[in-house]
Amino acid sequence: MNILFIDWPCFDKNDAVSTWKQMGYTITMFSHKDYQERISPDFDIAFDNAVRGRKFKFCFSFNYYPVVSEGCKRNEILYLSLVYDSPYVPLYSYTMIYPTNRVFLFDKQEYLKLKKIGIPTVYYTPLPVNAVSMERLIKKNFNRRKCTCDISFVGALYNEAHNFYDRLSGISQYAKGYLDAVIEAQLRIYGYNFLEEVLTENIIKELLRVSPYSNDKYGVETPEYIYANYYLGRKITSLERIRLLTAIGERFPERLKLFTLNKDIQIPHIYNMGTAEYFTEMPFVFANSKINLNITLKSIQSGIPLRAMDIMGAGGFLLTNFQADFLDFFVPDEDFVYYNDSEDLLNKIDYYLSHEKERMEIAQNGHQKVKQHHSFEKCFQNMLRVI
């Protein structure tokens, strides 16, 4: 049985390819520079040439691509995609309704939203982790000075130049005050994202005036979706992460290591270690931090982020904000721990730093559950059951 695998520089490509092969499939890799375009005649020609005269069980990709969907529909090939990015505009492409699609989302609220508006081709699944591979990796030598710590946070702070909210020049005082209030309100609410709901018609008009956006004829994403997720959501995530890390630095000075894209940012009493390379450093950070923090990007409404799954996959202790989808697969205080607000976060850091046996048991429970139930093979078997 042959699979057409859309080849692009994505996380976990090697794990996916090796798993499909172990499951008895033959892999044909296909790459093209226009894979992210919504329409590309060059891609269409190359895709049709690649599949002509050949029989494929299905086409597979991490994330969903409209040009791939078009090609699969045109050539009557099932298209399986596993989406791990959020927000993700291509989910609002007209091609999503094609009957050849099987699109798997890790965020249940996003899945339910799309189902509610009549998209029949979406499904829900948590993201997979190769915990066995991580077990082998973390036994090797590593940079202990960099990767060992009491508390770690791995992730972007979204305060780089592409922060759209900070570039809203010329916006009215009323609109700016309204949006600032919305941001502060959402920062205080865990487990529910209301950003799209509170963007009124007048606020949207003002945002469109100072930072125009319109979907093209190939998609149905709304201005509310774009401004809520790409402008407000990233700004809120930036503020939340910086505020929480600052509070941790004050309460637990010199005990937190930050691994982030912006190596120049300075937060008092915190060590900025720069980036942790995904394959060669990040698993060692997770395995050798007493506490691994997850502070979820606000556009992920209920889903379990890849970072959280990777932490448990590496055998690390996970302390995260509340995300409802955790409760579908994991038990709080048994497999992981979540916090309700900043004070709860600080108190739980204090508690688990001083309760090593309990912390290590929770980390081991989470690791075993990910290893047994959330491998690539289990995830792919679930996808195959759907098709």
Domain boundaries, the chain: 2-124, 132-373
Q: Which amino acid is at 279?
A: F
**Contact predicate 309/126, CB 8 Å:** yes
The CATH architecture of the domain made up of 132-373 is 3-Layer(aba) Sandwich (3.40)
Structural tokens at position 187: 């920062």
Task: Please tell me the predicted confidence (pLDDT) of residue 35.
Answer: 97
Task: Please tell me the predicted confidence (pLDDT) of residue 372.
Answer: 97
**Contact predicate 4/56, CB 8 Å:** yes
Order across the sheet with 101-105: list the strands: 26-30, 2-6, 58-62, 79-83, 101-105, 122-124
SS3 category, 191: coil
Looking at the DSSP assignment, which residues form a beta bridge with residue 258? 153, 272
Looking at the DSSP assignment, which residues form a beta bridge with residue 124? 105
Q: Give the CA distances from residue 251 to residues 117, 157, 244, 290, 352, in Å, rounded to whole numbers and listed in that order.
A: 46, 20, 11, 16, 14
Structural tokens at position 250: 């004050």
pLDDT averaged over 10-residue windows placed end to end, the chain, 387 residues:
95 95 98 95 98 96 98 98 96 96 97 95 98 95 96 90 84 97 94 93 97 85 95 96 98 98 92 95 98 97 97 98 97 98 97 98 98 98 93
CATH of 2-124, picked from 3.40.50.300, 3.40.710.10, 3.40.50.720, 1.10.10.10, is: 3.40.50.720
Which of 172, 169, 164 shows the shortest CA–CA distance to 228? Answer: 164
Which of 279, 240, 275, 280 shows the shortest CA–CA distance to 261? Answer: 275
- The reply to whether 132-373 shares the fold of 2-124 is yes
Angle of CA points 88, 93, 99, to nearest 5°: 115
